[in-house]
Structure 1
Amino acid sequence: MRPLDGLLVLDFSQFLAGPSAALRLADLGARVIKIERPDGGDLCRRLYISNLELEGDSTLFHSINRNKESFAADLKNEEDRTRVLALVARADVLIQNFRPGVMERLGLDYGSLRERFPGLVYAEVTGYGATGPWRDKPGQDLLVQALSGLAWLNGDAGQPPLPFGLAVADMFAGRTWCREFWPPWCGAALPGGARTWRSACWNPCWTCSSKFLLRISTTAGRLRHAAA
């Protein structure tokens, strides 16, 4: 018996940030159904970090989407949307990481689903949040590492900013959302009675970088390691 046995999660997300959040729920016992495009599925199926494949897809895709089922649907097709909405009616959690505005155009945003499915916990994983001047900018992992200062903190003195070897911004965002998932799922009150939670790749990365601000201010900027 695992903590989330019996929980049904619909994972509309792609690449790493959203799928990593859904993976944590699957690890805890949830049944996760991944909604993918009929023509090729999640783009991560073709995202390689090595020359290894498993059943025609990248090993990266399999590592971040293990223990999930796949459901092919064209969200712009009315018949497919009807099938997807039938799944939403049964689901406990919906996760998506499209740019702000995409799910609204498809009629699958929280505002559109809230009245029909009041018990649904709706998760949005974005690059920089759902509001503000950076709302519509691409939230790719390397961009977030650079903007937050994480890339500057990595590497040796004399080097330019050096990104981490892993997609840490994406993974931080997924883990952050999972940590905050428990209050709405357990029925804790959220503002306005909402059952939606947003996580942005930017937030946890900036939190990590900000811990070094005091050290930077007290070492005249000499924070990075000396070259060996």
Structure 2
Amino acid sequence: MTDRPGPLTGLRVLDLTRVLAGPTCTQMLGDMGADVIKIERPGAGDDTRGFAPPFWPGTEESAYFIGVNRNKRSVTLDIAKPEGQAVIHRLLEHCDILVENFKVGALAKYGLSWEQLKAKYPRLIYCSITGFGQTGPYAPRPGYDALIQAMGGVMSLTGEPNGSPQKVGVPVADLFAGLYGCIGILAAVNHRHATGEGQQVDIGMLDTHVAWLANQGMNFLATGENPPRLGNQHPNISPYQEFPTKDGYIILAVGNDPTFERFCKAFGQEHLLQDERFSTNPKRVANRDLVTETLTPVMKGKTTAEWVEALEAQKIGCGPINTLKDVFADPHVQAREMVATMRHGSGAEVQVIANPVKLSATPPTLRSAPPVLGEHNEEVLSGLLGMDAAEVAVLRDKGVV
């Protein structure tokens, strides 16, 4: 761990988020140097503390919680009580950014909505991450990752052609919402540098999900036709898919016609270059079943390792289909330092997936492990807000902290 300053050092974030989308956003801000104060329910904390098994060995924390809550200070506070709301206001006097993922309108009953705060804190950047955003007919609805994957269309694109729709194996709807939230906050910070004005950043999970439909979304807009499920095949490139090998599977990614020509000449398939159905990428896409049927027996002729070596020698995109054990053992992943070890408040060492952003001058820092519930109550309430022991004791006796 290091105390080296990051690009966001000097910014303080009041984190009213829980579960995944919001904590992903605030962890990214924390990794970049911001001081993140995570507000949690007394006695319970973030729901994900109990999203287990697995718990991290030697701790009482779920692996889920540990994955998205480093570089944060945990303060327990009941914001449903007037005394808790008063503490929030005292914290806001020291904070630049507030991030929340409550249902639309839920914070208004505590006097903590954007509309209620913006006049008193004109420099505040207030990021709301919800299922459907602050406006529109679905705004009051709760948002869940699988629900958003379904409504956002990605499930209709994922799975085998004759199989059922499938969600992605990790909660991408939550993760993208958190990352887009971070992008919006950074844009608002830059605007505030120029004008002194804060603003609300309104992130809807469905919006961000539609945004990353990318080429498939554009394919629909161009044709008006729903793209079919293609399993592991690419909608616009062929061959670009998994193939069985002698001992497993491999991904073959032939991105253009010169690469296909190189593949054919290197592996005894020159005759395909004379076949009109294989002559260009659009024609291979139109005849994708034939391409698959033709190349499958070829690919079964070598092991995965043999194909990776042979294809890389020809500068043809390829790769094994790794398990997570394979991923974390991969020498490139290790060389890029994508796993880090931190000392948890319990005394145990925990491993975390590192931040992937590589900055030459101000790289992300791992300053503090995911916190024990309420670990920083004294540090924040007394150290930052200047409360004396008697004042903190009163709040504790009332169940506020």
Normalising by structure 2, we get a TM-score of 0.53
Task: Give 1:105-184 correspondences, 5 Å limit.
Answer: 105-184=109-188
**C-alpha contact (below 8 Å) 2:124/2:198 kept by paired residues:** no
In structure 2, which of residues 80, 83, 86 is the aligned counterpart of residue 82 of structure 1?
Answer: 86
- 1:224 matched to 2:230: yes
Cα distance in 2 for residues equivalent to 1:131 and 1:111? 14
- Measured against aligned partners, the alpha-carbon deviations of 1:106-148 in whole angstroms (never above 9, x if no partner) come to 1001111112211111000010111111011110010000001
CA pair 220-152 structure 1, distance change in 2 beyond 3 A: closer
Alignment of 1:52 with 2:55, yes or no, is yes
Would the alpha carbon gap of residues 194 and 9 (structure 1) be closer, same or farther in structure 2, given more than 3 Å must change? closer
Secondary structure of 1:19's aligned partner: helix
Distance 2:202 2:227 in 1: 34
Query: What secondary structure is seen at the aligned counterpart in 2 of 1:186?
Result: helix
1:155–1:116 Cα change, 3 Å: same
Counterpart Cα distance in 2 of 1:111 and 1:209: 32
Once the two structures are aligned, what percentage of the paired residues are identical? 31
Residues in 2 aligned to 1:214 and 1:3: alpha-carbon distance in whole angstroms: 35
Query: Equivalent residues in 2 for 1:179-194 (5 A)?
Result: 179-187=183-191
- Show the counterpart of 1:92: 96
How far has the Cα of 1:69 moved from its partner? 0.6
Corresponding residue of 2:266: none
Report the count of equivalent residues. Answer: 225
Cα RMSD (Å): 2.3
Task: Pick which of 205-214 and 165-174 moved more.
Answer: 205-214
1:2 to 2:11 alignment: no
Please say which of residues 85-94 and 54-63 is displaced more in the overlay. Answer: 54-63
Q: What amino acid does structure 2 have at the position aligned with 1:66? A: R
Q: Superposed, which structure 2 residues align to 1:8-19 within 5 Å? A: 8-19=12-23
Q: Which runs of 4+ in 1 moved over 3 A?
A: 213-223
Query: How far does the alpha carbon of each residue in 1:6-35 deviate from its partner, in whole angstroms, 9 at most, with x for none?
Result: 111011011101111101100100010100
CA contact (8 A) 1:15 1:42 kept: yes
Name the CA distance, whole Å, in 1 between partners of 2:127 and 2:50: 25
Q: Determine which structure has more spread, i.e. the larger CA radius of gyration.
A: 2
Identify the match of residue 25 of structure 1 among 29, 53, 64.
29
Normalising to structure 1: TM-score of the pair?
Answer: 0.90
Question: 2:130–2:142: 8 Å Cα contact kept in structure 1?
Answer: no
CA distance in 2: counterparts of 1:34 and 1:79, whole angstroms: 17
AA matched with 1:52: F
CA distance in 2, matches of 1:24, 1:226: 31
- Whether the 8 Å contact between 1:9 and 1:30 is mirrored in structure 2 is yes
CA offsets per residue over residues 196-221 of structure 1, 9 Å max, x none?
A: 11111111211222531454549874
Q: Is the 1:157–1:226 contact (alpha carbons within 8 Å) kept by the matching residues of 2?
A: no
* Cα distance in 1 between the residues matched to 2:204 and 2:177: 6
Unpaired runs of at least 5, structure 2: 234-243, 245-401
**1:151 positional shift:** 1.4
Q: Which residue of 1 aligns with 2:270?
A: none
The residue identity in structure 2 corresponding to 1:106 is Y
Amino acid at match of 2:51: L
Q: Which residue type is aligned with residue 231 of structure 2?
A: H
